[in-house]
A and B are shown apart, each in its own frame.
Chain A
């Protein structure tokens, strides 16, 4: 039956040249619908991914705990008492709360340390922490370096892990930093690692890129603090943060004599709540995109359907003539299906190609030529395959059905009637 295909393809190209305008319009309709929806979804997806990564900059599934003030009276003691904890309390939590907490670290912090390497100096805040702090807070070493370890802690080593920006301030743009000695408040420290660049959309007491991290023991031998500034813990995977917090209270409440249900006794920032906010935000955001996308598709679809309808009307006479000359109904329908499909492949393909090129090549191009980093504002747009397929399918089916059903109607007429209609 190769001749059927042949007549379809020949017919199609004749049609294109005969009706340049409507072919163009249909193609542009599908093309434009595809481009708008694909770009819309890509940018949406990029934004979402950016927010998710950024919100993990502070750490994954962590809470930060500061001293607090009781809000409930307890065992004959009035409310309004200050609750602070010591490093040994935190160790106690580490040992007792193994059910819900996967990592924990104290954090002693002080700002305005004077750091010096050669002639460069910088003022930075320094945290004295346990080794678990690094992974938990997404503070990861660049290649060749490491974060603090248990030996550093036990031996009170004079070692420091530097944020990437403070390191650049001291050393300039060089990769040879690890192993160098810097002075912190005139005391020499060996740099053991530099932090990988990360995006961080929330923080307490400054961004990690501007800080230095040393063992808590080393920090205390220098500063001699009785109480840590705060401690940070990570809930086990699959464990609700709330039950981890409960467990912290269960350990500390008997030691300091406060009501374990007193949520004000410690000041706690549950960072997973940010995550929840973004999840909800993006549910709404995506629904919004879907609504806009649908309207775009409906508009495009109506355009495409309208054009196809006109085409079939114009061609009813032609359908009648062909049937009068012995065309089977299927040949006629095949032709319309083939035409519709080719228009979709054309419009959808070009649309996808354009969107893909824009998404892939525009951000680097802007960065190179204008130094404009699009990713900072809208993230890296990412083609949403499902959305794209859906768009092309919907527009395509519209085009095909809009052509197919009138064509079927025409081919069901008696040939003379179809011929006489127009």
Chain B
């Protein structure tokens, strides 16, 4: 599903350059279920954004389903973001003026789905994340956990085979977080590939595979006490 070789990401802030990713080599197979773990600032989100085709790498090669991402056109990338990848952002990134339902509808609109199908799908997904009664609420009228669940529902809109979640439980209490993890377990059981960033060692330990990051590089094991 995913193959990266020697991927680096360098940020230039004024005269300072900062290497957020260093020489990342990784392979993730179809239907894998991985946790990405590491201290804050270690480059987890940076890596996830590159995997999600939301950002480009500075050097190195990235193949998604056997295709080299660097060679794809803007429209091909847009279609991949729309249909192949469901991305749950660390900070939700919901459209502030739109209701929960309308937010979930956005990827369906870009996919050119009919209105009838869109409405059915929105209802189905929001029910699935337990928000059937908040369909008409705007982000400002929801709690952090509710917004998080809208973001998950939106990521599932076009039924993508790959789900990327940047700390989907970060803003939630243990119980609600647990419900989200259960949901991801279900999604994995349905045959999806899932990569999830988490700070919670308990959640990470439950998943079949852990990817450890430190200072922008993949490591076998985290150094104790960071």
Using CB atoms and an 8 Å cutoff, list the residues of chain A in contact with chain B. 1, 3, 6-7, 14, 18, 317-318, 321-329, 331, 414-417, 419
Contact = CB atoms under 8 A, between A and B. Distances in A.
Q: Is the interface of A mostly helix, strand, loop or mixed?
A: helix
A259 to B, nearest CB: 86
Nearest to B46: A416
Given A7-B109, A325-B107, A325-B110, A18 B97 contact: yes
B95 A3 contact: no
Contacts of A7: 109
B95 A321 contact: yes
The 3 A-B pairs of least Cβ separation, nearest first, read: A326-B82, A326-B110, A415-B54
B55 interface: yes
A327 B79 CA distance: 8
B14 interface: no
B49 A326 contact: no
A245 B190 CA distance: 104
Contacts of B49: 416
Of listed B75, B81, B87, B93, residue having the most chain A CB within 10 A:
B93
A111 to B, nearest CB: 82
Contacts of A325: 81-82, 106-107, 110, 154
Interface string B106-118: 1101111100000
Contacts of B109: 3, 6-7
A409 to B, nearest CB: 14
A414 B111 CA distance: 20
A331 B82 CA distance: 14
A324 B87 contact: yes
A310 to B, nearest CB: 16
Contact of A324 (B56, B81, B158): B81
Nearest to B107: A325
Contacts of A417: 55
A377 B107 CA distance: 63
Nearest to B83: A326
Given A1-B112, A321-B95, A326 B87 contact: no
Contacts of B78: 323, 326-329
B54 A327 contact: no
A338 to B, nearest CB: 15
Nearest to A411: B74
Nearest to B92: A321
16 contacts: A6-B109, A18-B97, A318-B95, A321-B93, A321-B95, A324-B81, A325-B107, A326-B158, A327-B78, A327-B110, A329-B74, A416-B49, A416-B54, A416-B55, A417-B55, A419-B93
Of listed A1, A18, A326, residue having the most chain B CB within 10 A:
A326
A318 B95 CA distance: 7
Contacts of B98: 14
B186 to A, nearest CB: 22
A287 B180 CA distance: 71
Contacts of B93: 317, 321, 324, 419
Nearest to B79: A326
A324 B54 contact: yes
A89 B97 CA distance: 91
A322 B78 CA distance: 10
B54 A14 contact: no
Interface string B93-130: 10101100000001101111100000000000000000
A325 B158 CA distance: 10
Nearest to A324: B54
B112 A414 contact: no
Nearest to A325: B107
Nearest to A417: B55
B138 to A, nearest CB: 11
Contacts of B95: 318, 321
B218 to A, nearest CB: 20
A322 B106 contact: yes
Given A18-B97, A324-B93, A417-B55, 10 more contacts: A6-B109, A318-B95, A323-B78, A324-B52, A325-B106, A329-B78, A414-B55, A414-B56, A415-B54, A416-B49
Nearest to A415: B54
Interface in B32-76: 49, 52, 54-56, 74-75
A324 to B, nearest CB: 5
A104 B82 CA distance: 86
Contacts of A318: 95
A12 B106 CA distance: 15
B201 to A, nearest CB: 27
A23 to B, nearest CB: 13
